[in-house]
Structure 1
Amino acid sequence: MYFFMRLVLKAVRLRKMALGSVILIFILGSASIAYWLEPSTFQTWFNALYWVLTTMATVGYGDFFAKTVIGKLFTIFLYIFGIGLLSVVIGKIIDSVADIQRKKEAGQLKFQGKDHIIIINWSKKAQYAVEEILSYSPAPSIVLIDESDRHPLAHQDQVHFISGDPSLQDVLERAKLKEARAAIIFADARIDEPALVDGKTLLIASSIERFAPNIHTTVEITQDQHVQNFQHVKVNEFVLSHDAISRLAVRAALQQGNSEVFNQLLSRQHGDDIYEIPVKQEWKTYGDAFQDLLLRGATLISDRGDLGINRKLTTAIPSDARLYAVADEETFLSLTGKSK
């Protein structure tokens, strides 16, 4: 018994590849020995292999069994050592699955997908962003990068967590930044000094620009005087933290009720949404596009940031136009020929 316990302990300490090799050699060797001991019982080596596996797995169908004394002694040997080794393998598999889960929650696993959205710095705003992204159908995968040591949304399978400094290249590589659709950098809510918050955001944006310059990057800025610094590192879009909230609060106070309109347009979860509409060849002017979309249940509102195109209905649509309209999802899908 002491010898058996020492053998099991040594097997437990073996690396996965070494243990797998030992198990494979043990099974193939046992099958060869069983066939050598009782060739008339098993008839073929494969039948002996089948018997060894069913014996080690404690299934024991009874279609093959040892008939000689030495064959039965070998069966006892398989009971003692074979089943023990298989138990070690099962334990290793369970440990491996648990280890993968621990690494996933600790943010140590590399993301394996592509065309995902990267969110940097966890906060309540980041949580709202995750919820908004997941409201899309189909929802893209999300990779969250934060310096905390535990997944803040461990229950959400569509959010892959990576722990580390988002300004470091190896962390961005683990997030598969070069294969991402976009990156959103939120201000670090754990830093009290606004200048330091924007400084950290600028450092992260610079790292992204250096490592993956083609990625569409959106950043949250706490002070408007820092906007030009972010333009210098070619950030695609930026949002001023307090600016939008303050303006919305003033509009709600002076023009009661219009905050509901903004809330609907800001979220896909309520009412209609703003969609980019592909320009059709038959549309020559903004008026053509406006009338056609109106008949289909959508309202044309802008070409990029130009909200005054309803006063330019006779103006020809430029070749680089990007038209946006307000519509529900069903109307948008019918306009683009897509399906859910």
Structure 2
Amino acid sequence: MKTRDVLFAYWRWPAIIRLFAAASATIVLFGALMRLIEPETFRTVFDGIWWAIVTAATIGYGDIVPKTVAGKIAAIVLIALGTGILTAYFASVSAAAATQATARTSGRFEYRDQDHAIVVGWNERAREVLLRLARREPSLRFVLIDATVPSHPLPDVPVHFIKGSAGDDAVLEKANIQKARFLLITANPHKAEAEADKDAIVTLLAAKSLNPSVYAIVEILTARNVANAFRAGADEVIETNLLASFAMAASLRSPGVAGALTAMLSRSGTQTLSLLEPDAECIGQTFHDVQQRLLGRHITALAVVCADNRTVSVSPQRLIEEGDRLFAIVP
């Protein structure tokens, strides 16, 4: 390879790599030079390199020092030349680290891992979801997408932040939607319910077009948009207003139900609601018998979710069938 080609390739490298290469070459060159100038003082090339490092870094241990005039002149040149190169290199490293940290905090740094969960929208619900799952599922990685907050809203929680509109393909690609496992779209609390639902469905369509296999959970506020969300590809729809209305109505009929429900749900640090696949031995048995078996494992079965995923049975005599799942509180 010609010298011109080598120099051209060198100047195409990033500045921090060029500085590292220049600093390394300077250290090795002066280390070898001192071995030639004072072989009795610098018994190996490594001794010369060691001396060059501590000299250029202005540490100066003094364990090895040049004794001849030529050696001292070489040391002066190294101090004048090498110190500037090393200083520039360490300054570039610090600047690169600061730039990367700023990019992460401001949401400009793309996410490159896979099998992660993407949460769209920053609100109180998203905050609780991220805090709870970060404590209970530390192995699951999260990416938060939001366009309203100026910087990372949870800097102390292992959550990657992407700033932007999740309806934009470029933003979803920056969150690596193609390799995501879950997608949770929360409703925008700053918009009217119908408008928030429309934005959620548009985001869902954009995400499903980039990754049809991602498991998408969508928060919908108006009942008339639930069907639209399923048509857009939602795997699961959470009707927030319906859940809240149920708790309110239950408390009116029996005061205290909402508080008890909140207390039960807030025990997610020790117990959680889950859908369980019944064991082969459970198939053909009554729900009551399966409940008793599970109690021995400290699992409380609340209902049977039928194979169609839309019918729920609490009848004790209901026989467990293939495809059924058990809605339960598990430790």
TM-score (norm 2): 0.86
Match runs of 1:199-210 below 5 Å? 199-210=198-209
CA–CA distance in 1 between the matches of 2:202 and 2:137? 33
2:302 matched to which residue of 1? 301
CA–CA distance in 2 between the matches of 1:294 and 1:189? 40
2:10 matched to which residue of 1? none
Cα offsets for 1:123-167 (capped at 9, x unmatched): 222222222322414362221001136334242241110012212
CA–CA distance in 1 between the matches of 2:236 and 2:107? 28
Cα offsets for 1:292-326 (capped at 9, x unmatched): 1123332212232544243334x2x3222222222
What is the DSSP-based 3-state SS (H/G/I as helix, E as strand, rest coil) of the residue aligned with 2:151?
coil
2:176 matched to which residue of 1? 176
Quick check: 208-217 or 317-326, which moved more? 317-326
Residues 1:201 and 1:115: Cα distance change in structure 2 (over 3 Å): same
TM-score (norm 1): 0.84
CA–CA distance in 1 between the matches of 2:157 and 2:255? 40
2:164 matched to which residue of 1? 164
Q: Which runs of 4+ in 1 moved over 6 A?
A: none
CA–CA distance in 2 between the matches of 1:39 and 1:235? 75
What is the DSSP-based 3-state SS (H/G/I as helix, E as strand, rest coil) of the residue aligned with 2:274?
strand
Does the 8 Å CA contact 1:56/1:82 hold for their aligned counterparts? yes
For structure 1, list consecutive stretches of 5 or more residues without a partner in the other structure.
1-13, 330-340
* Residues matched between the structures, number: 312
2:262 matched to which residue of 1? 263
2:242 matched to which residue of 1? 243
For structure 2, list consecutive stretches of 5 or more residues without a partner in the other structure.
1-13
CA–CA distance in 2 between the matches of 1:311 and 1:154? 45
2:292 matched to which residue of 1? 291
Cα offsets for 1:186-228 (capped at 9, x unmatched): 122333x433222211110001111111111111122211122
- Sequence identity (%): 24
Amino acid at match of 2:56: M
Would you say 1:326 and 2:329 are equivalent positions?
A: yes
CA–CA distance in 1 between the matches of 2:154 and 2:131? 14
Amino acid at match of 1:325: A
Match runs of 1:1-340 below 5 Å? 15-138=15-138, 140-148=140-148, 150-191=150-191, 193-269=192-268, 272-284=271-283, 285=285, 286-304=287-305, 306-313=311-318, 315=319, 317-327=320-330, 329=331
CA–CA distance in 2 between the matches of 1:320 and 1:116? 27
Amino acid at match of 1:158: P
